[in-house]
Amino acid sequence: MPEHPDLDPDDPALAAEAGEEEERLRRSEEAFGSGEVQRIPRGHLLSFYDRLREQVLKTVEGRTSRSGKLTEAAVKALLLVPDVFILLVRLILDKEVPGSARAMIGGALAYFVLPFDLLPEALLGPAGFLDDLVLAAAVLAQAFGGELEPYARKHWNGPEDLRVVLRDLTDTAQSLLGANVYERLKRLLSRRGVQLGEDGE
């Protein structure tokens, strides 16, 4: 939590806020590390995709989220959310994708589906999927070695080259999320051996 010179560090409200933030980080990490996505029925994942796509398009058309007016970069990123989500679903369902890559991708998918993350969709609406998107991009970029690339290319249906999309998302992650959420997401990923940004920056 950022320090502020006017805040009393012994203030119970401040302590409660810090505790809530730490709990959100812990639950976010649990969601990312969860194997629960393996037990989610395929039909549920596809219906989640349909709802997600509808929510994102509605938000983008209005150009606002519950947290205010969306920037051009946020709009562009939000339009990628359904494409990246369905890529994760297709990769996790593809039995030819190596098990180690599927486990990491499953964690990213669980982070999307389970309700515990750093930017809660329940509070922010679809703009809350920006941290899910950045996390997925970091996981895909890391898992996107030679062995995974053919599978990702087979399953990707976004309008731009996937490598360019992943690079752009990781390059703009801090401005999309804000410094505080970016640093927390970076820590969460590093605990699972995933770097966010070039050379972990």
**Is the pLDDT score of 15 beyond 70?**
no
Classify residue 7: in a domain, yes or no.
Answer: no
Question: For residue range 44-95, what is the model confidence (pLDDT) as tens digits?
Answer: 788 888 888 998 888 888 766 665 678 888 889 999 999 999 999 999 889 8
Classify residue 138: in a domain, yes or no.
Answer: yes
Cβ proximity of 162 and 172 under 8 Å: no
Global confidence as pTM:
0.79
Question: For residue range 171-194, what is the model confidence (pLDDT) as tens digits?
Answer: 999 999 999 999 999 988 998 888
Classify residue 174: in a domain, yes or no.
Answer: yes
- Whole domain around residue 173: which residue ranges? 12-200
> Per the structure, how many domains does the chain have?
1
Q: 49-74: string of b/e by CB count within 10 Å (b at 16+)?
A: beebbebbeebbeeeebeeeebeeeb
Classify residue 46: in a domain, yes or no.
Answer: yes
Cβ proximity of 74 and 9 under 8 Å: no
**pLDDT band, residue 168 (cuts 50/70/90):** very high
**Is the pLDDT score of 8 beyond 50?**
no
Instruction: State the Cα–Cα distance between residues 190 and 171, nearest whole angstrom.
Output: 17
- Check residue 164 and report its DSSP letter: H
Classify residue 6: in a domain, yes or no.
Answer: no
